[in-house]
Structure 1
């Protein structure tokens, strides 16, 4: 019954929001729940800069207005914070506010009104690869890569302490969520710093990035069987060839994208989930029926937040 209900909800999302399947990079944020407010939550915000001063971030934090439970609130750190904020509405926050353990939600965005900052995220969300500076180029568009470790340090030293100052937090219920390239960052952090968070959540991670670089990191990762992992994929694009690039994309970049995606099997995420589960790690892998790569961003958020709040059935 739960799978049937999930399919109905997600099919409705696919019908009502087809434009989100491949969001234009020029799309603007507009008015969000951070501006209009939501029952049971208040919003705070602060800004930080990257260590090299090249990238600037705006962090909006949704904080429950009720008293914290004795162990503190769980907390979710969401990448692509502008895009994530556009998918979270007052109804979802009101439901979370009534949960047994409502989460604090930190939306880590770039300090602009763009939904997606393509160049900045291509750098921040990808790890450095062997081969020197010449190897730190994206297969799609030639964007700079390799800043993931510096970005993780920024989260740990500049962002998390300021979030912790806003509310009492449960140090054993810390989640990191990312979509696509954000999923690359989430899994890289899992494989290289498994104790940094307690729950790692990746929506349709781009495992093809770097010719399957994350598969190499997975094979050498330290053991951490008490860390939970949530993985989601959509099934509306069953092959790399079926994924249509955004309108206006350079044909050479399109070809590079398709070649990069051929570097891993179409079911690479499902295979990774099976391997991690076999190693003893608690992993939940979910196929989101009828949804494209882009649509898994919004669909995965309530599933994560309800899981973190202690009411996973509501998210389903």
Structure 2
């Protein structure tokens, strides 16, 4: 069994017992300001040490804030696994000392790389709308905006920045196992993860897309041809799509309150432009292209709750840590494998 497929199975197990940690009542609209209390980066950790650097990107007109969390224990012979987290400010805020201790005592504690934006403690809604969304292959020159009129289409440039500038720099800070690198993202970040899984020259073997915004640009990513390459260890890439019950984010019409808010934007119908089962169709396409694909639904969990739930599960799986016993809330909806059982 390939390393990436083993991580995917670990993620499914972690999701099964983490479902009760998230609240279905979490707000659909993200909180943009930082928490009032200092987080683990500021207070310090007995399990991990932190390094931080900023990375100007003149062509994008912004500066990235990158937080790197490195286990305090000695690295294994082949190096640490690596997990790159999008929406880095919010991701770091969702990580506490208890989780870091679980990761550090796991079989393979990962190095964490949280990629955020300088000046935006949690979410930079304009920057992420551009960085995380791919330009359609068939109409690359068309103006690209989301349902609120925010420009998009910068995923290729952002993916190149991660692969050529961020991950190599992190590899100078700690020994990294190049066959055990994971990319995680939620919503627009989930769409970016799926885009990255179909690109060449990507360092990641495992991809975790939580409630991906497949509706973006009227589902243009779903219409582009897919080609999934091999993982760095020569096996199939492992792609996990985790979805909750946030209908407006995975296809289908939003609820009345959210529909009223979205109607103020220039493209109010965009979020309902793809079929509710678009993720299932996409999973089959990716499996046909040679990936090991796991599709998981978390019953009773809203779009906002899926952020922390899927992030924790991805980290626990990468660490090879045993999940806490709890009643399962997430289950495999469909599994398609490029490898024989």
**The TM-score by the shorter chain falls in which range?**
0.7 to 0.9
Rounded to whole Å, the distance in 2 between the matches of 1:21 and 1:88 is: 20
Deviations along 1:103-154, one digit per CA (max 9) or x if unpaired, are 0000000012431101001111112235465x23313221111111111111
Counterpart for residue 28 of structure 1: 34
Rounded to whole Å, the distance in 2 between the matches of 1:8 and 1:227 is: 24
TM-score for the superposition, normalised by structure 1: 0.87
Write out aligned runs for 1:281-292 (5 A): 281-292=291-302
Rounded to whole Å, the distance in 2 between the matches of 1:148 and 1:181 is: 10
Q: Does 1:153 align with 2:160?
A: yes
Once the two structures are TM-superposed, the CA of residue 200 in structure 1 deviates from its matched residue by 0.9
Q: Is the 8 A contact 1:128 1:136 kept in 2?
A: no
Q: Does 1:265 align with 2:271?
A: no
Once the two structures are TM-superposed, the CA of residue 156 in structure 1 deviates from its matched residue by 1.7
Indicate the SS of the match to 1:241: coil
Determine which structure has the larger helix proportion and give its number. Answer: 1
Structure 1: runs of 5+ lacking an equivalent = none
Q: CA RMSD in A?
A: 2.8
Write out aligned runs for 1:171-182 (5 A): 171-182=178-189
Q: Is the 8 A contact 1:22 1:246 kept in 2?
A: no
Rounded to whole Å, the distance in 1 between the matches of 2:103 and 2:14 is: 19
Write out aligned runs for 1:116-127 (5 A): 116-127=123-134
Counterpart for residue 333 of structure 2: none
Deviations along 1:237-271, one digit per CA (max 9) or x if unpaired, are 48632356769946332x834x2233221121133
Deviations along 1:45-97, one digit per CA (max 9) or x if unpaired, are 00001141511111011100111000000001101001111211111110000
Once the two structures are TM-superposed, the CA of residue 280 in structure 1 deviates from its matched residue by 4.0
CA distance 1:261–1:97, shift in 2 (3 Å): same
Once the two structures are TM-superposed, the CA of residue 32 in structure 1 deviates from its matched residue by 1.6
Once the two structures are TM-superposed, the CA of residue 278 in structure 1 deviates from its matched residue by 4.6
CA distance 1:287–1:19, shift in 2 (3 Å): closer
Q: Is the 8 A contact 2:211 2:242 kept in 1?
A: yes
Among candidates 55, 59, 64, match of residue 52 of structure 1: 59
Once the two structures are TM-superposed, the CA of residue 7 in structure 1 deviates from its matched residue by 6.8
Rounded to whole Å, the distance in 1 between the matches of 2:257 and 2:79 is: 43
Number of equivalenced pairs: 308
Structure 2: runs of 5+ lacking an equivalent = 1-11, 329-341
Q: Does 1:14 align with 2:29?
A: no
Counterpart for residue 252 of structure 1: 264
Which stretch shifts more, 121-130 or 202-211?
Answer: 121-130
Rounded to whole Å, the distance in 1 between the matches of 2:150 and 2:246 is: 27
Which stretch shifts more, 234-243 or 105-114?
Answer: 234-243
Counterpart for residue 206 of structure 1: 213
